[in-house]
Chain A
Amino acid sequence: MYLGALAGGVVVAFALASAASAQTGPLVTADWLRENLDNPDVRIFEVSVDTGVYERGHIPGAVHLNWHTDLVDPVQRDIASKEDFQETLRAAGVTPETTIALYGDNNNWFAAWGAWVFDVYGLGDQVAMLDGGRKLWEARGLPLDTETPSYQASSIEIADRNTALRARLSDVLDAAEGRADAHLVDIRSPDEYSGKIFAPEGVKELSVRAGHVPGAENVPWSKAVNEDGTYKSPDELKALYAEVGIDGSKPIITYCRIGERSSHTWFALKRILGYDARNYDGSWTEYGNSVGVPVVNLAGTVWTGK
């Protein structure tokens, strides 16, 4: 009896492990990832922003993606160039068959940014995010490793940028001024949205105007997650965005301050719900500094140059 149960467990575990390379959907659970730590067709990437977090303990086998250098262009404000990003993926041994699992600190914000960049370069179908991110992995006491792994390099060729996933200032202006029929979602805190403050506590003020883009709905990113940091169920997410009239019938543009928290909501709308959503990575630090664009500032806070 006992042996039978054990054998059954082994069979189930084996079935789970061998299913790894198949399509996983947009999210994977911590249990799934734990089962697939040794699966050669799964490559895990950590995108953490706090210094030294990855080195002092990461999910075994995970490769570090540095947000400041690997996912963005370090000189001009842009996502990483195709050549650089391709080089990063080749060094990590990613092939067209690899299932890519992303996770990170800070509620997966930057991992979600990573998921968006992967998607822009045509790898969206291969990418899944660890639901709950590093926080949940740690809270469950799952193993961490300090060894930096090395993999046999691949020769993957990635696609050109898919501009349909990225909103630029002109797209946002078209939506704000009624030339395009699109929903805008501002995922910042209510105080940033209303213009009471320029930037969240502890963050440098980088825009010279407060407020939001005309017509934008305020749905703070945190409303999309449960207490433990995992995304709410698709039905709950659907209801959350339907409350502000977003049901997927029109294209959606998400934005925040610098474009990373909005990737988290973009991921919910695009990858989990399958809506037509674009991320505006210029976000408020571009829009709120642009000359002559319409702004709604409910609080009336005036920038004084200090």
Chain B
Amino acid sequence: MTEIVATRTAGVSPSRVLIGAAVLFGLGVWAWMLYGGDGASRALSFSLIAGVAFGIVLQRGRFCFFCNFRDFWNERDPRGVLSILVALAVGLVLYHVVFLAWMPVPAPDRLPPGAHIGPVSPVLALAAFAFGLGMAISNSCISAHLYRLGEGSATAPFALIGAAAGFVIGFATWNPLFLSVISEWPATWLPHRLGYTGTVAISLAALGLLTILVLGLACVQPASRAEPQTLVNVGRRVFIERWPAAITGIAVGVISMVAYFRVAPLGVTAELGSLARTAASGAGFLPETLYGLDGLRGCATAVKQAIFSDNGLFVIGLVLGSFSAALVAGQFAPTPPTRSQIARGLVGGVLMGWGAMIALGCTVGVLLSGIHAGALAGWVFLVFCVVGTAVGIELVRRLTKAPAS
């Protein structure tokens, strides 16, 4: 036992730990300086801190929608998928606590402010499918590429560039899709149909069934070692080893509710989309008006007016929070990209960017924040994104095996 501890902690470098701590401290100082005494600057400051917390949790829990699904699909390892199911259940319940305070009755003509409740249409299904395909090709979803950027991933920068390009294609195709399909379909909020109790009960039942399914199909896990709660052991489990599924899921669910309660629902693509839209509009590539976008709920994107937005600071916090956690854990390992990584990042990124623009968000903005908020769109995204991911994994397997056979 002591030998294992010794070899595992040997990777910890004091200088990296110091740099990681300094980055965290610097982020704290920045958040403190952002606060200017008014509501807007308070939101900026809070967004940065929420982003840091989210980045640390994603890195420590390896909360990556694609890898978690792939581990289950290929290896029947249930841990990652369970952390997603726990995050969905916890956030769902906590969101409804907020709803009960803000909108004690789900009045038919009102929606909770800012919650991601987007329209449900065949276009959403197609966009979620494309997003899943893109995740499988680029090896991560957009939020995971952002936290992997903090780990020095070689694919992540190309996937994000691809996603920005995908966003531009999304903007260019939005108007015809909106006018011919999306505008005809409703933004279904489950509490309008089922009430708050019905929404929570049915959603939790669905998540429970999925949990039983996942555990039923899972391979048997080795029993966890019982080890004494010494400082070294606990420190190793917090700072170096992957967090247990339940802890990660609970943390994601709590951060989701806290972010919604204070500023806005979790989402990682609004800023990326805004940057892409601002650049492409400046170059004259895009229609000046994107129909209906301002009236829809989700990670909507606007042409930038200020340098720092709430979502921009959230994403910066996410990347740097993950960076600090990865440094401390000895998991910051930048490598030069291979050709295959560049190509897969760009192609997968384009698919994800297009999907995230048309679906008004990604696995975080629509799947997580949507299901938390009782949006039918979140569930539709979940189903079609999983189908797209499964198809993508099999497609990639065949394509990469082809030369060998």
Contact = CB atoms under 8 A, between A and B. Distances in A.
Interface stretch (A51-59, A156-164, A165-173, A238-246): A51-59
B101 A148 contact: yes
Most chain A beta-carbon contacts within 10 A, residue among B37, B102, B262, B305: B102
B104 A148 contact: yes
8 contacts: A55-B102, A138-B39, A139-B37, A146-B102, A147-B101, A148-B101, A148-B102, A148-B104
A150 B104 CA distance: 9
Contacts of A146: 101-102, 261
A135 interface: yes
Nearest to A135: B38
A135 B39 CA distance: 8
B104 A56 contact: no
Contact of A148 (B103, B109, B262): B103
A141 to B, nearest CB: 9
Interface string B244-288: 000000000000000001111000000000000000000000000
A305 interface: no
A60 to B, nearest CB: 13
Interface in A150-197: 150
B297 to A, nearest CB: 10
Contacts of B102: 55, 146, 148
B38 A138 contact: yes
Which secondary structure dominates where chain A touches chain B? loop
B113 interface: yes
B130 to A, nearest CB: 29
Given A138-B38, A139-B38, A202-B305, A52 B101 contact: no
Interface string B294-323: 000000000001000000000000000000
Contacts of A138: 38-39
A53 B101 contact: no
A138 B39 CA distance: 8
Closest 7 CB pairs of A and B: A52-B113, A55-B102, A52-B114, A51-B113, A55-B113, A147-B101, A51-B114
Interface residues of A, number: 16
Contacts of A139: 37-38
A82 B264 CA distance: 35
Most chain A beta-carbon contacts within 10 A, residue among B101, B104, B113, B305: B113
Contact of A53 (B39, B109, B305): B39
Contacts of B103: 148
Interface string A64-107: 00000100000000000000000000000000000000000100
Given A51-B113, A139-B38, 10 more contacts: A51-B114, A52-B114, A54-B113, A56-B261, A105-B39, A138-B39, A146-B261, A148-B103, A148-B104, A150-B104
A56 B103 CA distance: 12
A107 B225 CA distance: 61
Interface in A35-59: 51-56
B262 A56 contact: yes
Nearest to A53: B39
Contacts, number: 30
B184 to A, nearest CB: 20
Contacts of B37: 139
Nearest to B289: A204
Contacts of B39: 53, 105, 138
A99 to B, nearest CB: 25
Most chain B beta-carbon contacts within 10 A, residue among A54, A55, A150, A202: A55
B186 to A, nearest CB: 17
Interface string B12-51: 0000000000000000000000000111000000000000
Contacts of B264: 52
B105 to A, nearest CB: 9
A146 B263 CA distance: 13
A53 B61 CA distance: 33
A139 B37 CA distance: 7
A55 B99 CA distance: 10
Contacts of B109: 69
Interface string A126-155: 000000000100110000001110100000
A172 B300 CA distance: 40
Contacts of A69: 109
Interface in B102-127: 102-104, 109, 112-114
A139 B113 CA distance: 24
Contacts of B262: 56
B302 to A, nearest CB: 10
A147 B305 CA distance: 32
A201 to B, nearest CB: 9
A150 B305 CA distance: 38
A252 to B, nearest CB: 33
Most chain B beta-carbon contacts within 10 A, residue among A53, A54, A56, A202: A56
A55 B263 CA distance: 10
A52 B113 CA distance: 5
A277 to B, nearest CB: 31
Interface in A261-280: none
A235 B264 CA distance: 43
Contacts of A56: 261-263
Nearest to B114: A52
A202 B306 CA distance: 11
B353 to A, nearest CB: 26
Contacts of B114: 51-52
A51 B110 CA distance: 12
A283 B264 CA distance: 34
Contacts of A148: 101-104
Contacts of B38: 135, 138-139
Contacts of A52: 113-114, 264
A51 B263 CA distance: 10
Contacts of A54: 113
